[in-house]
Structure 1
Amino acid sequence: MTSADLSDIRQSALGAADPLGVAAVLAEAVDSGGLADPDDAGYALTLAAEIAESRTKLDAALRYADRAVDAYKTRDDTQAGAAHALRARILFRSGRADEAMAELEPLRPLLTRYPDAAAYVTVALSVGGQNKLAEQWLTEAVQATLTERDQPADPASAEDAGQLFFLLQQRHRLRHALGLPHDTHDNLAERLETRLANAAAAGGPADDLLFWPQAEFDRLLAKWPALTESYDKNWDDHRARLERELVRLTGTGRVGLAVFPGTVDGLAGDATDAKVRAAYARQQETGTNRISWPPERNAACWCGSGNKYKKCCLPRSRG
């Protein structure tokens, strides 16, 4: 079972006839050495825990989550943090709030390090009815990030803000849900979102970071063959161009980068029209479907090939 297989299961498991059976298969793959990459054990067990949780099988979900946390025990990255947050979420649902909070407290430093940490920590706290505490943690993370920044407190763009932007966004949405009045951080979040939207409207980074997974890329060119003249000629060229662009943007100081997956079915209009493609890219950029970049060297590549990043798209930036 490859990393790509696991990603496919994540997309389809909840709609399966027997999702709990899928969870059991994932655990069995870990136990029997059925994973192509043993480093995927934590990912597979986290997915099994999510499936069991979705079916309110909390005892099974917690067993899987315990094993996922153990599989990640030597790591201090966002994947390990997500496993701990999932375990906390299940503990909250099981009425074990004190244990859940003990699981979440060590994750607070991740809020200033990883774009998705703000989301999974906030979701876990919200499940436990701790929205006010989540707002407090996010506020403290925003203030810490502002203190550590070399740039002015009011960044010129979402890209310049980097990690701060993701914290501000999550905090702003949570405060809106809580009915809290706007403060200076909320105002900054709105200014950065406006600047991001304006940059996208002017043909900003979304145009360059729209990613077509291999099956969708093949469908795209089959439907609009003329795109080979203005777009990448094949999927290898497509992901190589994206990798080079991501590396280039990193060199300009950009952080919190991601690519935005597209689908042919989601693209309304004639894709040979550059304005249609640009509008779709902006739509994808402002949505929730994003693939953070870069992955760790030994993690599955962002392109979905199933290979490790260091053996797949990482070398493409040097081509």
Structure 2
Amino acid sequence: MTTDDLDAYGADVVRVRNPRPVLDELIAAVDEDRIADPEDVPYALSLAASAAARLRDEARALDLSRRAVDAARGGREEYLVRGEYADLLLRFGHDEEGITTLRKLRQQLTRDPLADGYVIEPLLENGRETLAQEWLTAALETAVDIAERADPDTDEAEDAWEIVDSLASRRVRVRRGLGLQPDEADLRAEELLAAHDAEPDMVFWPQAAFATLVEKAPDLVEMTWDEHRAAIERELQQDDQLLVEVATPQLLEATLAGDETVAGEPGPALEWPPGRNEPCWCGSQVKYKKCCLPRGRSVVES
């Protein structure tokens, strides 16, 4: 069973009405040593745990998730799998163990720009918004200090500012969900990031703007919008540090006029990674976990 096969099963886990056949096949593939890449074993077990959770089989879901954690130990997806285990613990009411599991991952918030997904997301999905804000606040303060002390001409500095951006963006959204306004920490992070801003690596054209390009300047378009969307997602999965600018009406106007130098201020940066239960980054307004997430999976190698 290849990674592509597992991706397809992952989509089925979310979409099909009865995921039991998927659950049985995933377990059989692991037990019979039919996973093509041994490093994909934790992925297969995590998908099986998700299927069991959908079937409300608590004991089986937690057992499969623990197996995934054991299989992932020391591998490229260890932290992600541990976060998924914590999510299941909280979902099934094992609050103390779930929070303890996440506390052991908490330090990754200032080390890994993807930690937001496996540390904060389980808290948000299980009603721990206040705790999520507390952890984000502390992590953001530390991350800003690390970024400001780093040599600005090094990869270390770029990595540090990427983490600041990730934490600041998430913190603003969490506070908004709690009915809170941006505070001094938000404003300071915004100012620091603006000062550190760089030219975008890629431009994402929302579907309506892309359709206008196709209509008025077909020679500038070499792919369909879905191919464009897939290309953006693929690049972000392979390099989460890319800065992707969301095209503005001004950029569209300048592009159609053949003069992007008059496009005005840069468009907003595309927030990555998106939360599983938040509107998908592509603009569909469908939750990410039911839109672009099932179409692709991170292939970042350690």
Which TM-score band applies after superposition, normalised by the shorter structure?
A: 0.5 to 0.7
Taking the TM superposition and a 5 Å limit, the aligned residue runs for 1:122-133 are 122-133=120-131
**What is the rounded CA distance, in whole Å, between the counterparts of 1:86 and 1:305 in structure 2?**
15
Q: Distance in 1 between matches of 2:4 and 2:36?
A: 10
TM-score normalised by length of structure 2 = 0.64
Amino acid at match of 1:140: A
The aligned counterpart of 1:105 is 103
Separation in 1, partners of 2:299, 2:85: 28
C-alpha distance 285-174 of structure 1, shift in aligned 2 (>3 A): closer
CA contact (8 A) 1:169 1:189 kept: no
How much has 1:160 moved relative to structure 2?
8.0
Q: What residue is the counterpart of 1:94 in the other structure?
A: 92
Taking the TM superposition and a 5 Å limit, the aligned residue runs for 1:5-44 are 5-44=5-44
Matched, 1:83 2:81: yes
Residue 200 of structure 2 corresponds to 204
Q: TM-score, normalised by structure 1?
A: 0.61
Provide the C-alpha distance between the structure 2 equivalents of 1:136 and 1:161, rounded to a whole number of angstroms.
20
- Give the Cα–Cα distance (whole angstroms) in 1 for the partners of residues 42 and 133 of structure 2: 29
Per the alignment, residue 298 of structure 1 pairs with: none
Structure 2 unmatched ranges of 5 or more? 151-157, 206-213, 225-230, 245-253, 261-266, 275-279, 282-294
Residue pair 1:48, 1:64 contacting (<8 A) in 2 also: yes
Q: CA deviation at 1:31?
A: 1.0
1:56-82 CA distance string (max 9 Å, x none): 33222111111111101234x5x2122
**TM-aligned CA distance change 1:225 to 1:62, over 3 Å:** farther
**2:284 alignment partner in structure 1:** none
* Structure 1 stretches lacking a partner, 5+ long: 153-157, 211-219, 232-237, 247-255, 261-272, 291-302, 311-319
Q: 1:93·1:128 contact (CA, 8 Å) conserved in 2?
A: yes
Q: In the alignment, is residue 3 of structure 1 matched against residue 6 of structure 2?
A: no
Equivalences, count: 242
Q: Which residue of 1 aligns with 2:137?
A: 139
Shift of 1:29: 0.9
**Contact persistence 1:135–1:175 (CA under 8 A):** yes
Q: For residues 206 and 101 of structure 1, do their structure 2 counterparts lie closer, same or farther at Cα, with a shift above 3 Å needed?
A: same
Contact residue 12 and residue 22 of structure 2 kept, 8 A = no
SS of the aligned residue for 2:36 comes to: coil
Q: Which moved more, 1:161-170 or 1:15-24?
A: 15-24
Distance in 2 between residues matched to 1:33 and 1:169, nearest whole Å:
41
AA matched with 2:202? A
Measured in 2, the distance between the counterparts of 1:305 and 1:190 equals: 30
**CA apart distance, 1:33:** 0.9
Q: Deviations over 1:72-109 (max 9, x none)?
A: 1234x5x2122112211211222221111221111011
Instruction: Quote the sequence identity (%).
Output: 27
Alignment of 1:244-263 (within 5 A): 256-258=240-242
Aligned pairs for 1:230-309 within 5 A: 256-258=240-242, 285-286=270-271, 288=274
Which amino acid is the alignment partner of residue 73 of structure 2? Answer: K
Q: Is the 8 A contact 2:143 2:160 kept in 1?
A: no
Q: Give the deviation of 1:167 after TM superposition.
A: 0.7
Q: Which amino acid aligns with 2:120?
A: T
Looking at structure 2, the residues matched to 226 and 104 of structure 1 have their Cα atoms a distance apart, in angstroms, of: 47
The aligned amino acid for 2:39 is: D
Residue type of the alignment partner of 1:8: A
